[in-house]
Amino acid sequence: MPKVKSQKFGYSHERKVNNVGNGNKSSEAARSLAPLFNKDLGQHILKNPLVAQGIVEKAGLKSTDTVLEVGPGTGNLTVRILETAKKVIAVEMDPRLSAELSKRVQGKPEQKRLNIMVGDFLKTDLPYFDVCISNTPYQISSPLVFKLLEHRPLFRCAILMFQREFAMRLIAKPGDNLYCRLSVNVQLYAKVDHIMKVGRNNFKPPPQVESSVVRIEPRNPPPPISFKEWDGLMRIIFVRKNKTLAASFKTTSVLQIIENNYKTFCSTNDMMIEDTLNIKAKVISVLQSVNMAESRASKLDIDDFLKQTFTFVNIIIEVRMSLLK
């Protein structure tokens, strides 16, 4: 049997076909069994039914649930979700895959409970949903997580498949090599747990990386903190996460930003700027007042950040400084 090249699911791979009659006809027949997949969209189909069932079971679905599924593909997860949930809203960017999914439930009772939205998930206004399940296109992993966490009303949980390293960053704890600004920002608003590892051979075709499934449960109510302010602070202290916070804030670029913001604040509020202004001294004073000057971002957990942030922000307000940019 000869081998022919096929561009399916975004990766070149070889597949054997029967040499019956015309070779081109054999190739066309094989390709007609499934749609061509767009490699730019990172399409990899989960083919292992046990993994698919495990993902759905971890969601703890109820018969009254509306489930949001991102990137349903040909529906291997979708059909299992429909066995339990009241309704599935599937957001699929590729019209060809959405057509395949429609055919899969056509004429079945599940058809009325499946709503397919064709379009870019990141640009789509999301309706109400109780649970999100996704075999996530890896290139949109980070924006997808934050779009979900910003959604209101809050959902109950999300079961999401990610590239292994990204998933490990989401669950990383202080002291871990992968602990970063992403870890802190997500864990501020949600409890994140690792559910299972998924080897590359569970997909067709196998991706170049291993995968993991995580469970994200939003904190309800969310902490009363401006994410813009919080993220501005995290950007500064995680640039060099193993350095002391004093060292991070004493860099010329950070001090220049703070001084410019301080002067802008004073000018827009008709406040005099003292002639002896020493931004560096003010910043170090703030850090010392909350006992964080010698702390290192890589060792601080969410409770540490939350405990100190309220005091930190209050003192910044008192000295009329902004750390937002």
Segment 206-223, tens digit of pLDDT = 888 999 999 999 999 998
Q: What is the mean pLDDT of residues 298-302?
A: 92
Residue 324, annotated ligand binder?
no
Q: Which of 10-19, 161-170, 301-310 has the highest mean pLDDT?
A: 161-170
Instruction: Compute CA distances 324 → 74, 219, 232, 239, 321, whole Å.
Output: 43, 24, 5, 15, 9
What is the reported pLDDT for 37?
55
pLDDT of residue 317 exceeding 70:
no
What is the reported pLDDT for 1?
45
Segment 96-117, tens digit of pLDDT = 999 999 999 999 999 999 999 9
Of the pLDDT bands very low, low, confident and very high (cuts 50, 70, 90), residue 285 is confident
Q: 71-80, 149-158, 190-199, 286-295: which range is least confident on average? A: 286-295
How far apart are alpha carbons 236 and 231 in whole angstroms?
9
* Amino acid at position 290, single letter: V
Residue 92, annotated ligand binder?
yes
Q: What is the mean pLDDT of residues 295-313?
A: 78
Higher local confidence (pLDDT), 108 or 45:
108
Of the pLDDT bands very low, low, confident and very high (cuts 50, 70, 90), residue 201 is very high
What is the reported pLDDT for 313?
54
Residue 71, annotated ligand binder?
yes
Q: What is the mean pLDDT of residues 314-320?
A: 47
What is the reported pLDDT for 36?
54
pLDDT of residue 226 exceeding 90:
no
Query: Length of the chain in residues, anyone?
Result: 325
Of the pLDDT bands very low, low, confident and very high (cuts 50, 70, 90), residue 311 is low
Residue 120, annotated ligand binder?
yes
What is the reported pLDDT for 291?
82
pLDDT of residue 315 exceeding 70:
no
Give the 3-state DSSP-derived string for the chain, with helices as H, strands as E and coil as C. Answer: CCEEEEEECCEEEEEECCCCCCHHHHHHHHHCCCCCCCHHHCCCEECCHHHHHHHHHHCCCCCCCEEEEECCCCCCCHHHHHCCCCEEEEEECCHHHHHHHHHHHCCCHHHHHEEEEECCHHHCCCCCCCEEEEECCHHHHHHHHHHHHHCCCCCCEEEEEEEHHHHHHHHCCCCCCCCCHHHHHHHHHEEEEEEEEECHHHEECCCCCCEEEEEEEECCCCCCCCHHHHHHHHHHHCCCCCCEHHHHHCCHHHHHHHHHHHHHHHHHCCCCCCCCCCHHHHHHHHHHHCCCCCCEHHHCCHHHHHHHHHHHHHHHHHCCCCCCC
Higher local confidence (pLDDT), 287 or 131:
131
Of the pLDDT bands very low, low, confident and very high (cuts 50, 70, 90), residue 320 is very low
What is the reported pLDDT for 268?
85
How far apart are alpha carbons 287 and 257 in whole angstroms?
17
Nearest to 44 by CA among 144, 137, 160: 137
Non-local CB neighbours of 23 within 8 Å, separated by 6+ positions: 2, 4, 17
Higher local confidence (pLDDT), 276 or 181:
181
Q: 65-74, 125-134, 170-179, 306-315: which range is least confident on average? A: 306-315
pLDDT of residue 8 exceeding 70:
no
